[in-house]
Amino acid sequence: MAERDDRELSPEQQAAAQAAKRRKRLIYGVIAPVVLVLLLGGIIIWLLLREPDPEIQAAQAAQNPEAVDQRAIYYPLGQNFTMNYDVRGRQRYLQVQVTLMLRDSAAVQSIELHQPSIRNTLVGLFSGQVFEDLQTPEGRELLRQDALRGVQSVLEQEIGRPVVEQVLFTHFVMQ
């Protein structure tokens, strides 16, 4: 029936019909794929930027427990360390409470087991300090860093890994 309609149309009308067909082909052949690509691109971007499902995160964490950012565990090293210094003929004292920060709850048992060795290392470190140096914030920070290296060294030697992330002075009195 379309063929019959085309024969009955004048040449101008046939040209207009051909132009309309070309426009439809243009729409279906060019514009529709572009819109489809843009739509798919938007969906992909949305999928990449959205927050992951908490259940999926939990399942991934169960498969790889080391990748999970564990909460900090603070382990105080028992009694305060008390050191005495002879400064220009006067007795001076340092009292320090040390707390270890770590993230591996299984390592707490190892720290408890090796606490005498850790305390011995820290006593040697604290007693070898110059009292005047400890009166400055920089001196206390250097002592804290040295204490961290000492504790990590003991744990590396005893259990094969330095599980302690920080050594914290939770009490620091100089007199």
Helices 137-159, 115-127: axis angle to 10 degrees equals 150
Q: Are residues 129 and 89 in the same domain?
A: yes
Out of 50, 65, 86, pick the residue that ends a domain: 50
Q: Are residues 79 and 164 in the same domain?
A: yes
Q: Are residues 26 and 103 in the same domain?
A: no
Output DSSP code: residue 69. Answer: -
d(CA 94, CA 72): 28
Q: pLDDT (tens digit, 9 = 90+) per residue, 63-84?
A: 655 544 589 999 999 889 999 9
Residue 169 lies in a domain: yes
Q: Are residues 33 and 111 in the same domain?
A: no
Domain span including residue 15: 2-50
Q: Are residues 167 and 97 in the same domain?
A: yes
pTM of the model: 0.60
The length of the chain in residues reads 175
Contact 144, 125 (CB under 8 A): no
Q: Are residues 83 and 134 in the same domain?
A: yes
Write down the mean pLDDT value for the chain: 85
Residue 142 lies in a domain: yes
Q: Are residues 137 and 83 in the same domain?
A: yes
Number of separate domains in the chain: 2
Whether the pLDDT of residue 2 is over 80: the answer is no
The token duo for 157 is 């030697």
d(CA 42, CA 110): 52
pLDDT confidence of residue 67 = 47
